[in-house]
Amino acid sequence: MRRKLDMEHGFVDLSFGAGGVASAQLTREIFAPEFSNPILDRMEDGAVIDMPAGRLVVSTDSHVISPIFFPGGDIGSLAIHGSVNDVSMMGAEPMHMSVGFIIEEGVPFSTLKRIAVSMGRAAREAGVSIVAADTKVVKKGEADQVYITSTCFGVVADDVAIGADRARQGDRVLISGQVGDHGAAVLACREELSMKSDLQSDSQSVSDLVAAMLASGVDIHCMRDPTRGGVATSLNELATTSAVGIEINEAAIPVNEGVRAVSELLGLDPLYFACEGRLIAICAAEDADTLLACMQHHPKGEAAAIIGEVTGNGDIPLILRSAFGGSRVVSVLTGDQMPRIC
């Protein structure tokens, strides 16, 4: 009988990735108790799932963030929310998840435990069960602490037809809350910026908000969670896929004061900051007020707003109008936003 893992001082070495007794112990003591559910607990090579009616929706996301713990979340909760939200954006109910970990040699057990606890909690809150998981350990320096790949499986009803190609001229664009909280919070807590802020990531599952929106009966044309690349990128993608133009109204876009401050300080644009618990929805103009009211009634959509409308033929995918009549094109970024030099 092996001794239990020393959760306080112990750390992962390469033997934990060899597939033998140590690997099994890592799974058994760190991950399995936090993820426990009847399908996973069978510990078979594959998860056997009874399929409900409807169509299967699958989404995969890999998470390689730094720092792995940030105000309002961590890489574990983010790995759950990221995939759950992607499945939700298709109007589906997220149900099951599969997760894979690449762990760097030397990572403390306590760090992994903290991540596992956070993932277990996030999964329960989102109403999904983690039915398959895998760990691999790589040599020190070959990864940055821990990477997580997560896949979410959900089911969408036959009469739901949300698609990036369904935006039509005259449609309204809605957002579920303040933009950029996640991106700004992660940026501000990076050690090298040494900023002090009370910004919190918005990382959360929006599956319950989506369920409420679908229940309102409104025909939602498009939905996106504006993660990497932010609202600017998501709206560009939707406009391009639908071959339309979108105009957003700067004054209508909800931005937290703290996020504005970080953006101003670094010369960055909050429209490009990632959100991890917000969604963009596009629906017909006559349905917009109904959908907005439905979102504002939900705790995760209290700050929802109509931020723009679908116009034109898409020569320019996205235009931002300012309150004084100025306008500019909002394009997709080439790389990361870089703080200004001067």
Binding site for another protein (CB under 8 A): 192-193, 257, 260-261, 264, 267, 316-317, 320-329, 331, 334-342
Least gap, CB of 324 to another protein (angstroms): 4
Least gap, CB of 95 to another protein (angstroms): 39
Measured CA to CA, the distance from residue 230 to residue 273 in angstroms comes to 5
Nearer of residues 22 and 310 to another protein, judged by Cβ:
310
HEC profile of 209-262: HHHHHHHCCCCEEEEECCCCCHHHHHHHHHHHHHCCEEEEEHHHCCCCHHHHHH
| Residue 304 CA, distance from chain mean position | 17
Nearer of residues 275 and 320 to another protein, judged by Cβ:
320
Least gap, CB of 339 to another protein (angstroms): 6
Q: What letter would DSSP give residue 279?
A: -
Nearer of residues 296 and 322 to another protein, judged by Cβ:
322
Least gap, CB of 318 to another protein (angstroms): 9
Least gap, CB of 333 to another protein (angstroms): 8
Least gap, CB of 254 to another protein (angstroms): 14
Q: What letter would DSSP give residue 317?
A: S
Closest to 119 (Cα-Cα) out of 245, 31, 12:
31
Nearer of residues 9 and 340 to another protein, judged by Cβ:
340
Q: Is 239 in contact with 165 (CB distance < 8 Å)?
A: no
* Partners of 136 in the β-ladder: 102
Q: Residue 290 carries which side chain, given as an amino acid letter? A: T
Nearer of residues 36 and 322 to another protein, judged by Cβ:
322
Question: Exposed, middle or buried by CB within 10 Å (0-12, 13-18, 19+), for 333?
Answer: middle
Torsion of Cα atoms, 166 then 308 then 283 then 180, to 10°: 90
The reply to whether omega before 67 is within 30° of 0 (cis) is: yes
Least gap, CB of 236 to another protein (angstroms): 10
Nearer of residues 157 and 329 to another protein, judged by Cβ:
329
Helix locations, 14-165, DSSP H? 21-26, 32-35, 38-41, 75-88, 109-126
Question: 3-class SS at 131?
Answer: strand
Least gap, CB of 66 to another protein (angstroms): 12
Nearer of residues 50 and 315 to another protein, judged by Cβ:
315
Query: Angle CA(237)–CA(169)–CA(178) in degrees, nearest 5?
Result: 55
Nearer of residues 296 and 331 to another protein, judged by Cβ:
331
Least gap, CB of 245 to another protein (angstroms): 10
Q: What letter would DSSP give residue 338?
A: -
Nearer of residues 45 and 192 to another protein, judged by Cβ:
192
Q: Residue 270 carries which side chain, given as an amino acid letter? A: P
Measured CA to CA, the distance from residue 282 to residue 279 in angstroms comes to 10
Measured CA to CA, the distance from residue 127 to residue 50 in angstroms comes to 16
